[in-house]
Amino acid sequence: MGPIDELWEILTLVTVVALGGLAVLVALVRGGGGKTKTAPRPPRVDEKERAEELPSPEAPAEVENRGGGVAVEPEVVEPTAPEVERPESARGRLQRLRARLARSNSAIGNALLAVLSRGGLSESDWEDVEDTLLASDLGVEATEELVSSLRTQVKVDGTTDPEQVRRWLHDDLLRLVDPTMDRRIAASREGDHPAVILVVGVNGTGKTTTVGKLGRVLVAEDKDVVLGAADTFRAAAADQLQTWGERVGVPTVRSDREGADPASVAFEAARAGVEMEADVVLIDTAGRLHTKRGLMDELGKIKRVVEKVAPVSEVLLVLDATTGQNGMRQAEEFAREVDITGIVLTKMDGTAKGGIVVNVQRKLGVPVKLIGLGEGPDDLAPFDPEAFVSAIVG
Ligand SMILES: Nc1nc2c(ncn2[C@@H]2O[C@H](COP(=O)(O)OP(=O)(O)OP(=O)(O)O)[C@@H](O)[C@H]2O)c(=O)[nH]1
């Protein structure tokens, strides 16, 4: 064998060994990687720096031109909690929480059943029925419908059997609550975008708490969640939200500056959701009075700016169920400003005003999707018409 042949042999050997090594390396990297569903990844520093250096083609003019807000560089805060909780799954939550709903709302059912099973009902008895329904915030229209239906059934059947009366009441109430409405939360990726959910409402209704609780519901469903703290008005709101996220290993996009432009934070949250390939981005917004024009306009701006990155799949209006007629007015004003796709009724644990479910759905034509039944982290449940009506009439 000549020196040339020997050289060829050595070269071939080296190439084979190098290729083999490369193949092993690739296999190792693949085996250790893959998209983890439960551990969301903040953008790497080098990616973030690059994004800051390069003018972003999709950066919206509205973010540059930041109304009255202060310029922000929202940051992604990686969860640091040493122990990540496993939240309760959505299924069965309402069963667990049903007792709370019944505690305050069964008074309505009991009052109605007491009168209706009495027999030989006078006009004043029917007025009592009407007053009880109105006091539960059912609304005039639905109350009239329900009373008229019950009157007909009592007249035709002539029965005062409590079981039969309970069944009528149950069926009529269920019809009013409307089990046919689509109450699913749009929380799945669409194409290459995460779902984006905006949470809006007046001050103190429970928006931040609801975003935190909803994040837990979605984590329990194995969704990759990103939280956006666009409530830059209340100093503690971003901390509050971040704490909710940390407990379940979810990152929060926030600004440390009070008064930062909420649209900018919302935009960055949506962008982080896209970069992280998250399933859903939940954006908390500041409480605003429905009567303040400028603040209501700001909501429209937040939505428009977010939509430069990804379409907004849900706008959830959070209403405090204890606020009665005032809550209804808020709902109408918010609905005028942004397209509400679902309602969250909070504080249903402390009120006998469950009738608001029917009232608000009728006024807005959108379903109640979630109800808050306490201050505990898993005290938010998907709204289930049957369980709700059963809690009222037993
Ligand atoms: N009992 C009860 N309390 C609730 C429920 N949801 C929220 N809360 C309480 O309502 C209070 C206000 O909640 P937040 O989430 O801070 O309200 P917010 O709408 O974000 O407030 P702003 O940002 O000031 O507008 C807190 O004390 C919550 O614990 C619920 O379903 N039941």
Three-state DSSP state, 310: coil
How much is the pLDDT for 22? 39
How much is the pLDDT for 65? 36
CA 206 to centroid of ligand 1, rounded, Å: 3
Share of the chain above pLDDT 90, in %: 53
Q: Quickly count: other Cβ atoms within 10 Å of residue 59's Cβ.
A: 17
pLDDT(64) > 60: no
Instruction: Provide mean pLDDT across the span 217-228.
Output: 96
For tokens 């007792």, the residue is 99
Is 256 labelled as part of a ligand binding site? no
227 and 284 Cβ atoms separated by less than 8 Å: yes
pLDDT(370) > 90: yes
pLDDT(186) > 90: yes
How much is the pLDDT for 120? 79
pLDDT(56) > 70: no
| 52-56, 133-137, 281-285, 322-326, range with the lowest pLDDT | 52-56
Q: What is the distance between the alpha carbons of residues 194 and 187, in angstroms, rounded to a whole number?
A: 8
Which among 322, 323, 314 has a CA at the least distance from the CA of 366?
A: 314
pLDDT(138) > 50: yes
- The distance from CA 6 to its chain's CA centroid, rounded to whole angstroms, is 71
190 and 218 Cβ atoms separated by less than 8 Å: no
Which residues lie across from 382 on neighbouring strands? Answer: 370
CA 239 to centroid of ligand 1, rounded, Å: 15
Could you read off the pLDDT of 3-51 as tens digits, one per residue?
545 645 655 554 544 444 433 333 322 222 222 222 243 332 233 332 3
Instruction: Provide mean pLDDT across the span 109-128.
Output: 86
pLDDT(79) > 80: no
How much is the pLDDT for 166? 87
| 149-153, 172-176, 178-182, range with the lowest pLDDT | 149-153
More confident residue, 24 or 213: 213
More confident residue, 108 or 32: 108
AA identity, residue 71: A
How much is the pLDDT for 352? 82
Instruction: Provide mean pLDDT across the span 186-205.
Output: 95
More confident residue, 309 or 328: 309
- The distance from CA 177 to its chain's CA centroid, rounded to whole angstroms, is 20
Count Cβ atoms within 10 A of the Cβ of residue 35 and give its class: 0-12 exposed, 13-18 middle, 19 or more buried: exposed
Instruction: Provide mean pLDDT across the span 58-78.
Output: 50
Is 38 labelled as part of a ligand binding site? no
How much is the pLDDT for 68? 38
Which among 172, 181, 137 has a CA at the least distance from the CA of 154?
A: 172
Q: Does residue 301's CB lie within 6 angstroms of at least one atom of ligand 1?
A: no
Instruction: Provide mean pLDDT across the span 322-329.
Output: 87
Give Cβ neighbours of residue 164 (< 8 Å, ≥ 6 apart).
157
Is 350 labelled as part of a ligand binding site? no
Instruction: Provide mean pLDDT across the span 198-203.
Output: 94
Mean pLDDT of the chain: 81
Q: Does residue 262's CB lie within 6 angstroms of at least one atom of ligand 1?
A: no
Instruction: Provide mean pLDDT across the span 343-370.
Output: 93
Count Cβ atoms within 10 A of the Cβ of residue 367 and give its class: 0-12 exposed, 13-18 middle, 19 or more buried: buried
How much is the pLDDT for 5? 56
pLDDT(271) > 50: yes
Q: Does residue 341's CB lie within 6 angstroms of at least one atom of ligand 1?
A: no
How much is the pLDDT for 29? 27
More confident residue, 350 or 249: 249
Instruction: Provide mean pLDDT across the span 95-108.
Output: 80
Q: Does residue 287's CB lie within 6 angstroms of at least one atom of ligand 1?
A: yes
Count Cβ atoms within 10 A of the Cβ of residue 123 and give its class: 0-12 exposed, 13-18 middle, 19 or more buried: exposed
Which residues lie across from 380 on neighbouring strands? Answer: 372
Is 273 labelled as part of a ligand binding site? no
More confident residue, 179 or 25: 179
How much is the pLDDT for 226? 98
- Most confidently predicted of 89-98, 157-166, 212-221, 251-260: 212-221
Q: Does residue 237's CB lie within 6 angstroms of at least one atom of ligand 1?
A: yes
Closest ligand 1 atom, residue 374 Cα: 32
How much is the pLDDT for 314? 97
Sign of CA dihedral 237, 240, 243, 248: negative
To test the ligand 1 pocket, which listed residue (240, 346, 351, 353) has its Cβ within 8 A of the most ligand atoms? 346
How much is the pLDDT for 213? 97
Share of the chain above pLDDT 70, in %: 80
Instruction: Provide mean pLDDT across the span 116-130.
Output: 87
Q: At what angle do helices 162-177 and 356-364 cross, to 10 degrees?
A: 30
